[in-house]
Chain A
Amino acid sequence: EAGVTQFPSHSVIEKGQTVTLRCDPISGHDNLYWYRRVMGKEIKFLLHFVKESKQDESGMPNNRFLAERTGGTYSTLKVQPAELEDSGVYFCASSLMNTGELFFGEGSRLTVL
């Protein structure tokens, strides 16, 4: 069974540009989460989808970040325009409903110059 896949694995962009990160969860997992880790800090929650609905987006830093999950399958996280402080590793995770275990992707490393 395929795990959570994320694309791209690494993206280097200049300040002001746009980047879109993609996450494909494990098939059948209704829960999808985005997290971010800035260097040396904790892994911080960004938002949580249940199917195509945003259940909790309390962790989204500001309105430059837009997450979508059309059709309740894969999700995208767009950063527009990117700022230097957006650099970090963006993790996606998925889980079945009413279970505790999250399955993580390998992360997308974003570097904003």
Chain B
Amino acid sequence: AQSVSQHNHHVILSEAASLELGCNYSYGGTVNLFWYVQYPGQHLQLLLKYFSGDPLVKGIKGFEAEFIKSKFSFNLRKPSVQWSDTAEYFCAVKDNTDKLIFGTGTRLQVFP
């Protein structure tokens, strides 16, 4: 069965620090990859997605992610975080059955 691993469960950073959240998936076929974010009190929303093409994907709010097929990874990065990035981040993979498989989420706290 497909699975998604997010290794960092809770990350605490100061503003302006760089961020990298790890994501690995187990599915060996063609995948679509996603990062979703849930800000406090809000619904899950899409940060970025990878379907094909350039493995470096740019998303909203300065986030980017790199798809490395050989490592089954899709890590999320941001060069300089802000207090408003405090949220929970979810990596997800969509396989050929049309459903999203999510990781356990990473809670990010950014302090001013």
Residue numbers of A with Cβ under 8 A of B are: 3-4, 31, 33, 35, 40-45, 48, 55-56, 59, 91, 93, 100-102, 104-107
In the complex, which residue of chain B has the Cβ closest to the Cβ of A50?
B98
Specify which of B36, B43, B44, B104 is in contact with A42 (CB 8 Å cutoff): B104
A55 to B104, CA, bound (A): 25
Beta-carbon nearest neighbor of B43 in chain A: A106
Q: Which of the candidate stretches B45-53, B55-63, B68-76 sits at the interface with the other chain?
A: B45-53
Query: A42-B103, A105-B43 are contacts. A56–B49 as well, Cβ < 8 Å?
Result: no
Q: Which residues 89-112 in B have Cβ within 8 Å of A in the complex?
A: 90, 94, 97-105
Cβ-neighbour of B43 out of A40, A100, A101, A107 (below 8 A): A107
- Complex partner residue of A56 from B42, B46, B98, B104, CB under 8 angstroms: B98
Instruction: Please tell me if B32 contacts chain A, counting CB pairs below 8 Å.
Output: yes
CA distance A33 to B100 in the complex (A): 10
A25 to chain B, nearest CB (A): 13
Contact of B25 with A by CB under 8 A: no
Residues of A within 8 A of B32 (CB): 100
Give B residues with C-beta under 8 Å from A.
4, 32, 34, 36, 42-46, 49, 51, 90, 94, 97-105
B98 touches A106 (CB 8 A): no
Task: Give complex CA distance A92, B102 in Å.
Answer: 14
7 A-B pairs with CB atoms under 8 Å apart are A31-B98, A40-B104, A42-B104, A43-B90, A45-B99, A100-B32, A100-B49
Question: Cα distance A40–B104 when bound, in Å?
Answer: 7
Partner of A48, one of B98, B101, B103: B98
Instruction: Say yes or no: A91-B44 contact (C-beta < 8 A), given A43-B90, A56-B97, A100-B32.
Output: yes
A-B complex: 4 closest residue pairs judged by Cβ atoms: A104-B44, A43-B102, A106-B43, A42-B104
CB contacts (< 8 Å) of B104 on chain A: these are: 40-42
* Inter-chain contacts of A91 with B (CB < 8 A): 44
Q: How far apart are the CA atoms of A84 and B90 in the complex, in Å?
A: 26
> Do the beta carbons of A100 and B102 come within 8 Å of each other?
no
- Complex Cα distance, B34 from A91, in Å, reads 17
B43 touches A104 (CB 8 A): yes
